[in-house]
Amino acid sequence: MLGNLKIISGSSHKKFALDICEHMACELSPIETVFFSNQNMLVKILDNVREEDVFVIQSSCPPVSDNIMETFLLLDALKHSSAARVTAVLPYYPYVRSDKKDQPRISIAAKLMARLLQTAGADRFLLMELHSHQIQGFFDVPVDQLLAVDVFCNYLKKQDLSDFVIVAADVGEAKHLGRYANRLNLPMAIIDKRRMGNSDTVIPTHLIGDVEDKHALIIDDEVASAGTLCKAADFLKENGARTIRAAVVHPVLSGNALEKINSSSLDELIVTNTIPLDEKTNICKKITVLSVAPIFAKAIQRIHNGDSVSVLL
């Protein structure tokens, strides 16, 4: 029999954890993280967690390596503190794009992360929008993957969707795009693109579908340097799109991504708060942030109660 539910947050995105707690009408359990002069780290759980059902919330954002290490130490501390069950809640999974061996002599880092997190003490995982669904197969424990499609669609349904067309940022996104097309009853188009080596440089080459004099809505799971997204927006504008919006789940927005977006053909970038964005939204007014804390709160409560999570998908 599991004990009380406890929620613990790492340093990466405490505001997100507090939002979840607010929706669940509970308190965030305190921890202490100390950095020593030799760059080692100490993590201490300040509450008694013996025989409790504990959820650790940590997202993958800068400083990525420090946040990963803090997650390992949190999980290990909970394991050695006799927590009954520990669920790692990772809104944005670390190294999620390194999910296959598509070149010689490289690591499949997403699988390595799964093995390390389980070894550290995670009994199950709660994630959102993995880059590929196959990543769930890297784990030997239960994994629940949440989707942001309803969050985006509920926002979009408040607008006039006349003459809208949903656009897949690449061929691989086409299947995922169907969820949006069905919910919004909109036509689809697909951008065919080519990636240049290991860089973030991607060149759109062909367009499958019609965007002439339409409002284009690009769907993708992640935006990092924003080079691909901005090139896609410019490509759609060249092909006659009237306006261009994008709905992207994970707003990594690294390097000079904000400057690219500000100067691009993109009219609006709709993202979720799986990664902290407060400072970036001040720089780029095109960004609209939607909260996925409510769906995480519902999922955590259902996992704790032993109820199905699939009803949230």
Please give the Cα distance from 52 to 1 (Å, whole number).
9
Active site residue 193: yes
Tokens of 68: 């990963």
What's the alpha-carbon Rg for the chain, to the nearest Å? 20
Which of 79, 100, 193, 286 does the annotation list as catalytic? 193
Active site residues: 193
